[in-house]
């Protein structure tokens, strides 16, 4: 059975760097599951910097914007898996639904978490999830923003409950909360 760790915090607060350092302290090889679609030059540059930071440290990158459970099948040879990040995954799920003229409910996003948790538990190594804590700021002014905040909050609660450890990273400093 895998050890599951959730790393959360605000944007640019150091969560990805912290999760990467935890992963790199473990014996590799490692898989980095990237959920971020590259949609513009600025995002392409961010992705390039993240890849460069992992380039010499025994990482394999798996790009999977939607089917996180399937990513574990691709990562079966890597005992350490880092999924970065769940909030972009929520964004991708919402975008996919919007393209089909549908909306994602909290019940639907909760249902989508179940196979991810099951696949993570079955993996057999250490799995780190990175997510943004989006519920500590202002209430979004529009319906889509509020839905995103609510769905991300639901995912964070579900994944945190399933994890063995949870860290909140603030100003680059990790605080163990579970």
So which residues are the catalytic ones? Answer: 50
Distances (CA, A) of 114 to 10, 85, 94, 143: 25, 17, 17, 26
83 in helix, strand or coil? strand
Distances (CA, A) of 48 to 41, 54, 61, 109, 114: 10, 10, 12, 30, 31
Residue 173 neighbours by CB under 8 Å, 6+ apart: 14
Find out whether 117 and 159 touch, Cβ atoms under 8 Å.
yes
């Amino acid at each position: 059975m895998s050890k599951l760790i959730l790393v959360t915090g605000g944007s640019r607060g150091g969560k990805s760097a912290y999760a990467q350092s935890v992963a790199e302290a473990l014996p590799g090889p490692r898989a980095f599951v990237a959920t971020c679609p590259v949609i513009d030059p600025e995002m392409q540059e961010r992705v390039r910097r993240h890849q460069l930071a992992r380039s010499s440290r025994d990482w394999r990158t798996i790009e999977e914007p939607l089917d996180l459970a399937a990513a574990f099948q691709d990562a079966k040879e890597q005992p350490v898996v880092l999924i970065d990040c769940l909030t972009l995954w929520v964004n991708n799920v919402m975008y996919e639904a919007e393209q089909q003229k549908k909306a994602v409910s909290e019940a639907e996003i909760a249902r989508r978490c179940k196979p991810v948790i099951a696949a993570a538990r079955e993996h057999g190594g250490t799995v780190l999830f990175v997510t943004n804590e989006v519920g500590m700021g202002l209430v979004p002014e529009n319906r889509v923003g509020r839905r995103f905040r609510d769905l991300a909050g639901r995912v964070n609660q579900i994944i945190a409950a399933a994890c063995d450890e949870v860290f909140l990273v603030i100003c680059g400093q990790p605080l163990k909360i579970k």
